Structure 1
Amino acid sequence: MTDSTRKKIIKWFWIVVTFPVLLLVFMILLVWMFADIPSFKDLENPDNKLATQVIAEDGEILTTFHIENRTYVSYDEISPNLVHAAVATEDVRFYKHSGIDFKGLGRVLVKTILLHNSSQGGGSTITQQLAKTLYPRAGMGRRIPGIYHAKMVWIKLKEWITAVKLERDYTKDEIMTMYLNSIFFGSGAYGVRSASETFFGKLPSELSVEESAMLVGMVNKPTRYNPAINPDKALTRRNFVIGQMEKAGYLDKSQRDSIRLIPIELNYEVQDHNAGLAPYFRDMVRRVMNARKPRKSDYTMVEDYSADSLAWATDDLYGWLEKNKKADGSKYDLDRDGLRIYTTINYKMQKYAEEAVAERIRDLQADFRRDLRSKTHKPFSNDIDEETRDRVMRQARRWSDRYRTLKKEGLTEAQILKTFSRPVKMRVFAYNKKGYADTTMTPDDSIRYYKSILRTAFVAMEPGTGHVKAYVGGPNYRYFKYDNVRQGKRQVGSTIKPFLYTLAMQEGMTPCDKVVNLPQTFVLPDGNTWTPRSTDKEQWIGKTVTLKWGLTNSSNNISAYLMKQFGPEAMADMMRRMGIQSHIDEVPALCVGPADLSLWEMVAAYNTFPSRGVYIEPMFVTRIEDNQGNVISEFTNRKREAIGENTAYLMVNLMEGVVQGGTASRLRYRYKLMGEIAGKTGTTNDNADGWFIGYTPTLVAGIWTGAEDRQVHFQSITYGQGAHMSLPTWGIFMRKVVEDGTLGISENDRFIAPAGVSFDLNCTGGDNDATDVQQKTEDYYFE
């Protein structure tokens, strides 16, 4: 070989070797100079659609608003097992390279590109994988030859530069934290916090070796290695990760072998919008924060417009998303901005409330199924005429998704109605272990089926603060989204009577004042008369009874007597003073409860009694922070004196009689609640609505139960009364709260009499109050 030949070979060798390197360096310089490389701020705050957290008063996360269910955790909140599994499987030289692993790239170049052996895996480091989240691959022209590969090269170079920047400005622990918070694990879980809760029901810090290996194994193919979908493939993949951990030195061989034998154990629950604690509360918070400035034309009832207009003017939380903007002037997004909404909800109480509701409504539904056997046109009551039944069904069809879809497709009314009588396969809610049943029925039958499912609502508040402690809007959020706490308004029945008795106490009467128990007749403006139906046994008619006896036994006669003394206008005014904002018909019948009110406003009104006469607007959010922990807004409650402190205490005494020996006495003998409790049951016409609102010195809670339609109800008052439908939920809940022992609620709590006032309350509300014909008066002593 001549010298010139040798020189040419050497020359071309260096050209072949150095040209690609120089070209690569040149392209990197071009990308660095001209490409849209993220800034440090972008790297620290990538657009990861952070879930907004709804946080309980003790710091526990109740639920989230999210598009991607992602909640950041810090490095010290992550199990070392998870870090070890990630390093061993995804980037074994993570702690040695500076963002780009050239040894790994060499392997990819030779084995994957030149030898077409894709089993060797990719060469991306953990830092590069983190950088990849900033550059989505969607819409890159994959089907157009050349364009896709050119764009991929451009993006890969950007990722390399970003990886280097990440390594330069962050520690390895910080990079690992960002990486584990960015991964998609399948089943709607973004980030390790969401994944650990979805698959194992625990925090990332609590993950074991096998659980950590399971999650890291899913990173490559979240669906294929999802243990809930493909358990065999997931087990194989998990054990591969465990083997990698042994190779990397994080486990010894005996540990590897023993851990591989552990079966997969899941506590699997997809953290979607139907899951988690307090879903009805979350939706209520969203509705309040999303509220727009009220327009009168959008309202049917002027009272609702007035209430919302007042809230817009005085409540900073109402319409918060409309009233508050970011620094750049844009609106906050609950699903993307990672806000932290701190609430007054007590995590344990919320859990106990949901458990109590689930336990009671399941048993009550069994009672109702038996009751349905006696009905001719299930689920409607036997006294409902055909015209009413047809109207209710016609309305339900038109509200259905099926009807709206077929209407948009251009089908005629007759064609649409025909589809409602054709059997189809469907999944329906059911009280079984799965929570649903797969069946075949006609859409009309499914409407009837769902109308036979009883609905319920529960809310608890704290006297003195108005803080909402628990909130359950229905029996099952996945299938019944309607919020019966605030959205629903139903007849309140006898739970309205304490407002009338409050008026009597405010006007100088006392619980032990006596009146004659007789039916009362009212002359109406049109000249007709109205006499409330007596609810008392015949043996008590004509007796002289105390007012406490009247409320204890929920006597319509005594309520009518008080209505005659004070009038419906005065009663309605008292109700408004105590926080009732809904429409009230100022008619004599108001004394027996025909008004349609929400459980929310009723419980808030009852809260006035243990709050010593002060009405406190319910408060459920204390502050809102951005995703960096900066406080954006703080909230305080609003209070006003509604009734005198003496009146409030007298009402407590009156309503204690209901629990001691009246319609709520089963709280004593069945639920063994021995502390001081006051309350009132309520049952409406035809047993369509059952209510109970009760309170202790430290907690107020109320329950409503009924069907979606008032035409669907128990035939018998034995099952349809508030004492049977709703009171047991209160008893189950309060029993759990008292037995917990950590919630500051005890059976030793006492109602405190006003200072400087002496009351001689020597009546019990029992039978003795009706048989003693001698009038007794109260002695007051003011210091």
Structure 2
Amino acid sequence: MSIEERRSLYRRWVKFLWGIFALGVVSVVVFFYLISLQELPTFEELENPNLSLATTVLTDDGREIGRYYVQNRMPVTYDELSPHVINALISTEDHRYHRHAGIDFEALARVATKTVVLQRRESGGGSTISQQLAKLLFPRPDLRGKSSLGRSWTLANTKFKEWLTALKLERSYTKEEIISMYLNEFDFIFGAHGIEAAAETYFGKKQSDLDIQEAAMLVAMLKNPWRYSPIRFPNNAKNQRNVVLLQMKRRGVISDTELDSLRQLPLDVTNFRRSTHIDGLAPYFRMELAKDLRSMLARPEYRKPDGSMYDIYRDGLRVFTTLNYRMQELAEKTMWNHMAEVQKRFFGEWRGLDPWTHNDGRIPVSTKMAGLTSLIRNSDRYQNARYQYLNEILEDIVELHELDLRDFDIDRMVSASTSDRARRSLQSNSSIAAERRETYMEIMSGPHWERLKQAWTDLQDTIDEEFSTPVQMKVFAYNEQGETDTLMSPLDSIKYHRMHLQTGIVGIQPTTGEVKVWVGGINHKYFQFDHVRTMRQVGSTFKPFIYATAIFLQGISPCTKVDDVPYTITPGEGNFGLIDEWAPKNADGTFTYEKYTLFEGLKQSKNTASVYLMKLIADTEPVRQLMNSMGVNSDEVRRDGDFKIPRQPSISLGAADLTVLEMTGAYATFANNGVHIEPHFIRRIEDRHGRLIYQAIPRETTALDARANYVMIEMLRYCTDGHFAFRNIDSDNGGKTGTTNDHTDGWYVGITPELAIGTWVGGADRWIRFRSFANGQGSRMARPFFTSFLEKLEDDPYVDYSAEARFIRPADDLGIEIECERFNQFRDRDRDLLDRNIFDDPFDDF
């Protein structure tokens, strides 16, 4: 080839390469331009506080009882930041921070080389602090269902957005401002948003007061706050903290001597205290309110003008509730004192016994122990150990068999490995999906099985030892602090807390349907589950609805006498559709064979009287319809497939599961002349500018004729008349107790003209119950709260409650005799008339 030809070829190659380069530059410019046209976050979303306002919750008199916020945040400026935090951050996350303009191309090249070329998983991150701040603006993309190419494009698209945002940040803010914005924005979990809240949450101090090792731990969490949480995974957190300290040494921030001493220090999070929305009055109510607000604001009619959803944690709403501040205060104090007494009796009955191992012949010990095992495995202590022992082997199994094993899976396989018979039993277990059974067999025959089985055995041995070894801890206690320090094994701690009886209490204003009181449990810090909207069997508190149906439909007088004898509903009788005979007994299993008025039948909770009335009604449907009118959806299907109010005559004895809110709302109908007003606890919602979003307009339904309803008022009054428990009560009141089988649940629902109050007391597990009926009945577990609370309401000059209010009797004649002396006179007269043989002479002028 001649020199001229070579020069020509060279020029063509140079042009080609320049063309490739130009095309690349144009492509990059076009790509970034197209990315920039997509929706990118504005800077206001980072620092404008109006975009992250807390929603306030107000009582009926405008007093604030709580807030909802996304960020438990106290913003700090760069000048206020601890030097230890700044040094740890820059040393670990971005040591060339002051030498780049938002993108560290040297770090990107390192990552690309090590990750792509050398195939190293742990090659270090290439994101700068500016990029990490930008990343907080983007929700992580959902890659589910996407192809490999689709996933790559989505990730690349997101990464380029972050780059552009990082460049915008660098142009608009100083380096110092970016650092403070990033640390203020980051979520350190456990409700700690921002470095200041994180320091207070984990160490109980201001971030400016952090020691070097404490600052290093918080910076370590920036990599992955969940994985390096000192609460859930302390070993991971300590290791990553030491990585941060090592980086600080490499950058010359600390010396070798300091590094050696600091990384030997244990994690000290003894001052950890999670700040949540529950602090303050009515924590259970506010947590349930948040659920309802999120559900309500998702509906189209309650959205923003632009069609987007309101966020109760960011949009600064004002929620005006119906709760009464003073009533709630009194209710919580009364509950505390009452439940402390109940718990004292409960522990006394179980002294020296273990509810989980005690065989009472009702619930199998195996069932109770399975429940205890579940509690152990849901604990943080167990989860930490499980991660340590099983994480690596489980990841290998997921990679090979594509099955994320749970504890019950491993239990099944370990049990099946004990013998060929057990293995065949697992293979043929039709209650387990065939595909899952097949995977079990593959795992048990695979290369990881022996390793998994050994790791599982080691885990169980460790758990047995750890959970049986006493350690210093705080536990719940009925004292001024609500907790106490003690030496107790983790297993005993679980049992101790589980043995505490819980309660659900609601107070509803009958004439408005407004919820004035809501107590969902004994202590939200230790027991988060709300019991106001928990389904529990209602027992004899349901009986007034049977009586009300019979009185309304049959016009039967409460003075009517019923024999306390066995009653049987047979197959084919009425519209019950029974297959077998149903012949219930009284609660004590006996019959007196005496006559009782319906007044007495309800007061003494005679099952025979309720069954007699159910036979009289001859159908469950009228009762179910009455409950519908009183706010209970009888046709709602339960988890077991039956209706909420079953079509069975056993409902006459309370064989239905309802919530305290439902029961109290239904009883409030009695206190409001038979008119049911839908219980509600939100009056209105306003946005940050005062614009009305929602206004409550509760539904009203006439559930019961006013005359029949007043008869029920008299019957409920009769249940409390003359009882020593009500000797100090001035309010016009009535109510009914309820006790379920084996005294698992204790109820009392009482009414006054101004307030209907429902109270449930029981254990979280069915076997957490009193051993004696004397202590386990509703009159002992639940009713004392009602009487004590009413006494406090009547004595408090600042609460909006009148003890002088009285139930109003309809002006018209009731049409049903409620004066038993008069009823007996008329009955005797009618009997005399019937006893005369007036048909002896057909022409007699009688």
Letter in 2 for 1:687: H
2:291 alignment partner in structure 1: 287
Alignment of 1:123-522 (within 5 A): 143-144=95-96, 146-147=98-99, 155=173, 221=208, 272-291=276-295, 318=296, 320=298, 324-373=302-351, 375=353, 377=355, 382-383=360-361, 384-402=363-381, 411=390, 414-421=457-464, 422=466, 423=469, 425=471, 426-486=473-533, 488-507=534-553, 508-522=555-569
CA distance in 2, matches of 1:157, 1:712: 59
Counterpart AA for 2:493: S
Cα 1:333–1:565 shift into 2, 3 Å = same
- Whether 1:58 aligns to 2:110 is no
**8 Å contact 1:533–1:556 — kept in the other structure?**
yes
Distance 2:384 2:828 in 1: 69
Name 1:619's counterpart in structure 2: 680
User: What is the aligned partner in structure 2 of residue 553 from structure 1?
Assistant: 604
Matched, 1:715 2:767: no
Q: Determine the structure 2 residue equivalent to 1:229.
A: none
**Which AA in structure 2 matches 1:632?**
I
CA separation of 1:544/1:145 partners in 2, compared to 1, >3 Å: closer, same or farther? closer
CA offset digits 1:346-381 (Å, max 9, x no partner): 111111111111111111111111011263555857
Cα distance, 1:396 vs structure 2: 3.2
| Segment drifting more, 56-65 vs 629-638 | 629-638
Deviates more, 1:650-659 or 1:63-72: 63-72
Deviation at 1:775, TM superposition (A): 5.7
Q: 1:576 aligns with which of 628, 653, 669?
A: 628
Q: Say if 1:580 and 1:146 are closer, same or farther in 2 by CA, change over 3 A.
A: closer
Report sequence identity in percent. Answer: 34
- Counterpart of 1:432 in structure 2: which amino acid? N
Output the amino acid matched with 2:683: T
Q: Structure 1 residue 591 and structure 2 residue 652: aligned?
A: yes
Query: Do the aligned residues in 1 keep the contact of 2:55 with 2:315 (CA within 8 Å)?
Result: yes
> 8 Å contact 2:297–2:303 — kept in the other structure?
no
Relative to structure 1, the CA distance from residue 290 to residue 381 in structure 2 (aligned partners, 3 Å threshold; closer, same or farther) is farther
Aligned counterparts of 2:332 and 2:583: Cα–Cα separation in 1: 41
Give, in angstroms, the shift of residue 596 of structure 1.
1.3
* Secondary structure of the corresponding residue to residue 719 of structure 2: helix
Q: What's 2:17 paired with?
A: none
- Contact kept, 8 Å, 1:548 with 1:763, in 2: the verdict is no
TM-score (norm 1): 0.63
Check conservation: 2:750, 2:756, Cα contact below 8 A. yes
Counterpart of 1:543 in structure 2 is 594
Give the letter for the 1:619 counterpart. H
| SS of structure 2 residue aligned to 1:470 | strand
Give distance in 2, aligned partners of 1:588 and 1:54. Answer: 44
2:725 corresponds to which of 649, 667, 676: 667
Q: Give the partner amino acid of 1:720.
A: G
Whichever residue aligns with residue 59 of structure 2, its letter is: A
Report the AA paired with residue 370 of structure 1: G
1:543/1:770 contact within 8 Å kept: no
CA distance in structure 1 between the partners assigned to 2:489 and 2:382 by the alignment:
14
Q: How many residues align?
A: 559
Paired residue for 2:662?
601
Note the alpha carbon deviations across 1:374-402, whole angstroms, 9 max, x for none: 63555857334323323332443454455
Amino acid corresponding to residue 684 of structure 1 in structure 2: T
Amino acid at match of 2:796: D
Q: Which residue of 1 aligns with 2:780?
A: 724
Deviation string, structure 1 residues 410-458 (Cα, Å, up to 9, x no partner): 6365455434423263433222333224445444333322221111110
Do the aligned partners of residues 149 and 480 (structure 1) sit closer, same or farther apart at CA in structure 2, a change above 3 Å counting? same
Shift of 1:727: 0.9
**Does the aligned pair in 2 maintain the 1:544–1:770 contact within 8 Å?**
no
- Flag the 1:497–1:758 CA change in 2: closer, same or farther, 3 A: closer
1:67 corresponding residue in structure 2? 70
Partner of 2:237: none
Matched, 1:628 2:689: yes
| Secondary structure of the structure 2 residue equivalent to 1:522 | coil
* Residue in structure 1 matched with residue 222 of structure 2 by the alignment: none
User: What's the CA shift for 1:674?
Assistant: 2.3
RMSD across aligned C-alpha pairs, in angstroms?
A: 4.4
Secondary structure of 2:737's aligned partner: strand
Q: Aligned partners of 1:466 and 1:381: how far apart in 2?
A: 45
Whether the aligned pair in 1 keeps the contact of 2:72 and 2:193 (CA below 8 Å) is yes
Preserved contact between residue 504 and residue 532 of structure 2 (Cα < 8 Å): yes
Distance 2:332 2:565 in 1: 43
Q: Partner amino acid for 1:531?
A: A
SS of match in other structure, 2:684 = strand
Pair 1:658–1:622, CA change in 2 (3 A): same
The 1:526–1:517 alpha-carbon spacing in structure 2 relative to 1, beyond 3 Å, is closer
Counterpart pick for 2:743 among 679, 682, 687: 687
Deviations 1:701-725 (A, max 9, x none): 1010001111121011111011111
Alignment-mate amino acid for residue 799 of structure 2: L
CA distance in 2: counterparts of 1:417 and 1:770, whole angstroms:
71
The verdict on how the C-alpha distance between 1:554 and 1:563 changes in structure 2, with shifts beyond 3 A counting, is same
Counterparts in 2 of 1:557 and 1:711: CA distance versus 1, 3 Å = same
Paired letter, 1:434? Q
Does structure 1 residue 529 correspond to structure 2 residue 581? Answer: yes
Q: CA deviation at 1:328?
A: 4.2
For the residue of structure 2 that corresponds to 1:757, the secondary structure is: coil
